C-alpha cells in the first residue's frame, strides 16, 4: 500500500507521525511525508515531498488576512484561517501535483493539518487523522474544517470524514469531561529516536551521585534569556542538559560547568539519565517525559501548553510554575518528593500497555480494506 503522511510544518506536528510512518515502511509499504522542506532532515529515511509554506510565512499571511497574531489570539477566526485557509491556499499548488504523482491509497494527516484531507478528497482516497496532543477544542476544529471544506469544494474535491482518529495522547491528560470519538484508536506514544541511533553523540555523563535535569523549551519557543535564567536557578547539586531551539536567535550565555548545551537532539538521547524535565509544556516533551517515567516542571508558554501543564499537575506527575525562580523550587520538590516520580512511573506503565504503532497500522489498514470492499 502507498501511504502519504501530511502535517503542519513544525517539529511537534511531524515527530508524532514518524512511529507510524516507520512501522509502515518496515512492513513493506511505500511511504512519503508531505510538509515544508525545512523538516526533511527530521524525517530520517522517510521519502519527502516538500510542499507548502514555512510556519513563519503562514503566520504572516494569516496576520495579513485577519489583522491578528494566530499564536497569541487563538479564536475560531485565526485558527480556522491559519490551518484551513492559509496553509491550504499556499500548499495546494505544490502539494496536489506531488500527491497525484505519488498516488496514495491512504493519507494520514496530523490532526491540525487540513492539506491532507483536501488532498484525500481531490484524489478520492480515504484518510486518517493522527492526533499530536490534547484534543483540539471543538469550536477551533470546526473552524479549521469549514475553511478547508470551502477550499476542497473550490477544486471539486469531495470532503470526507476520517476513517480513524489515531491518538497517542494519554486519556489521563485529556480535559475533564472529555469523551473519546467513536473512531478513536489509542496508540502507544513513542519517544523520538533517530533511526540510526549510533549517529547521535552521547551526552556527557553526570558524576556519580549527582542528579540531572533536562531543560527543553521545545522547537518553537525562542527564549535564550529564559534558558539562562533556568540554568542559573537550578540547585547547585544538580546537573543540567539544556536543549536549545535549533533556530534560536542567539545561544544562551551560560558559564556553568554543570550545564551541557545542545541543539536539536532526539528526545530519547536527551532523556538518558534525566531525573526531571523542565519544559514549556509542549505535547511532545510532556508525552516523552511521561513515557520515560520522568516527572516534570512545566512553565507553560502559550497555545495548548497551559492545558497540558494543568493536566500534568492534576495527574500528580509534576508541577506548574510561572517564573524561573519558581521553577528552581519546583525542581527541588519533584526530585525530593517521591510522589511525583511514582506518578510518572505509573503513567509510563499505562502508556506501555497501549498498542504499538505497528499494531494500530494493521488495524487501520484492515479498516481501509473493509471500506474499499463496501464501495
- C-alpha 56, offset from chain centre: 17
Predicted confidence (pLDDT) at residue 374 exceeds the cutoff of 60: no
What backbone phi and psi angles, to 5 degrees, belong to 225?
Answer: -65, -40
* CA geometry: angle 321, 75, 54, nearest 5 deg: 85
Share of the chain above pLDDT 70, in %: 96
User: Could you tell me the residue ranges of all domains in the chain?
Assistant: 2-189+354-373, 211-352
pLDDT value, residue 262: 84
H helix runs in 124-277, sequence order: 138-154, 224-233, 267-270
Report DSSP state, residue 163. Answer: S
Q: What is the CATH number of domain 2-189+354-373?
A: 3.40.50.2000
By the 10 Å C-beta count (0-12 exposed, 13-18 middle, 19+ buried), 200 is classed as: middle
Asked whether the beta carbons of 88 and 151 are under 8 A apart, the reply is yes
DSSP letter for each residue of 4-23? EEE--SSHHHHGGGHHHHHH
- Hey, do 2-189+354-373 and 211-352 end up sharing a CATH topology, with the first three levels equal? yes
SS3 167: strand
Predicted confidence (pLDDT) at residue 252 exceeds the cutoff of 80: no
Instruction: Determine whether domain 211-352 maps to CATH 3.40.50.2000.
Output: yes
Confidence of residue 166 (pLDDT cuts 50, 70, 90): very high
Global confidence as pTM: 0.94
The Cα–Cα gap between 359 and 362 comes to 5
316-334 pLDDT tens trace? 999 999 999 999 999 999 9
pLDDT value, residue 62: 97
The Cα–Cα gap between 213 and 190 comes to 20
pLDDT value, residue 285: 95
The Cα–Cα gap between 329 and 206 comes to 21
Confidence of residue 190 (pLDDT cuts 50, 70, 90): very high
Share of the chain above pLDDT 90, in %: 77
Summarize the confidence of residues 187-210 as an average pLDDT.
Answer: 89
The Cα–Cα gap between 266 and 15 comes to 10
When mean pLDDT is compared across 1-5, 6-10, 37-41, 49-53, the lowest value belongs to 37-41
The Cα–Cα gap between 303 and 220 comes to 11
The cell numbers describing 193, all together, are 529516536
Greater model confidence, 236 or 84: 84
- Output 228-232 pairs: Cβ under 8 A, ≥24 positions apart: 228/252, 228/253, 228/254, 229/324, 230/278, 230/299, 230/324, 230/327, 231/256, 231/259, 232/256, 232/324
pLDDT value, residue 206: 86
Summarize the confidence of residues 258-279 as an average pLDDT.
Answer: 91
User: In degrees to the nearest 10, what's the CA dihedral of 240, 241, 242, 243?
Assistant: -170
Instruction: Give the H or E element holding residue 211.
Output: strand 211-216
Mean pLDDT of the chain: 93
pLDDT value, residue 251: 66
Amino acid at each position: 500500500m502507498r501511504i502519504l503522511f501530511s502535517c503542519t510544518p513544525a517539529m511537534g506536528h511531524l515527530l508524532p507521525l514518524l512511529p507510524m510512518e516507520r512501522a509502515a515502511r518496515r512492513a513493506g509499504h511505500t511511504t512519503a511525508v508531505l510538509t515544508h522542506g525545512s523538516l526533511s532532515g527530521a524525517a530520517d529515511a522517510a521519502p519527502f515531498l516538500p510542499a507548502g509554506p514555512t510556519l513563519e510565512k503562514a503566520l504572516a499571511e494569516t496576520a495579513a488576512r485577519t489583522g491578528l497574531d494566530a499564536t497569541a489570539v487563538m479564536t475560531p477566526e485565526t485558527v480556522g484561517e491559519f490551518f484551513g485557509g492559509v496553509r491550504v491556499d499556499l500548499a495546494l499548488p505544490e502539494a496536489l501535483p506531488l500527491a497525484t504523482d505519488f498516488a496514495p491509497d491512504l493519507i494520514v494527516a496530523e490532526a491540525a493539518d487540513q492539506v491532507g484531507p483536501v488532498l484525500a478528497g481531490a484524489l478520492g482516497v480515504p484518510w486518517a487523522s493522527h492526533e499530536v496532543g490534547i484534543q483540539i477544542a471543538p469550536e477551533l476544529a470546526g473552524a479549521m474544517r469549514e475553511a478547508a471544506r470551502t477550499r476542497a469544494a473550490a477544486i471539486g474535491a469531495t470532503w470526507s470524514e476520517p476513517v480513524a482518529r489515531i491518538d497517542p495522547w494519554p486519556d489521563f491528560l485529556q480535559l475533564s469531561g472529555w469523551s473519546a470519538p467513536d473512531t478513536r484508536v489509542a496508540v502507544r506514544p513513542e519517544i523520538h529516536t533517530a533511526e540510526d541511533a549510533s549517529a547521535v553523540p552521547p551526552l556527557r555523563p553526570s558524576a556519580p551521585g549527582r542528579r540531572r535535569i533536562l531543560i527543553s523549551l521545545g522547537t518553537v519557543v525562542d527564549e535564550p534569556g529564559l534558558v539562562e535564567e533556568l540554568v542559573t536557578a537550578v540547585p547547585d547539586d544538580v546537573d543540567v542538559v539544556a536543549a536549545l531551539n535549533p533556530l534560536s536567535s542567539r545561544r544562551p550565555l551560560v558559564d556553568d560547568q554543570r550545564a551541557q548545551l545542545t541543539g536539536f537532539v532526539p528526545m530519547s538521547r536527551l532523556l538518558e539519565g534525566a531525573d526531571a524535565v523542565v519544559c514549556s509544556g509542549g505535547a511532545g516533551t510532556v508525552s516523552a517525559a511521561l513515557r520515560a517515567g520522568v516527572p516534570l516542571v512545566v512553565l507553560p508558554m502559550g497555545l495548548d501548553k497551559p492545558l497540558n501543564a494543568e493536566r500534568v499537575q492534576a495527574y500528580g506527575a509534576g508541577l506548574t510554575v510561572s517564573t524561573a525562580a519558581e521553577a528552581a523550587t519546583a525542581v527541588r520538590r519533584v526530585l525530593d518528593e517521591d510522589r511525583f516520580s511514582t506518578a510518572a512511573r505509573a503513567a509510563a506503565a499505562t502508556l506501555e500497555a497501549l498498542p504499538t504503532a505497528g499494531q494500530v497500522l494493521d488495524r487501520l489498514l484492515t479498516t481501509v480494506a473493509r471500506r474499499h470492499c463496501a464501495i
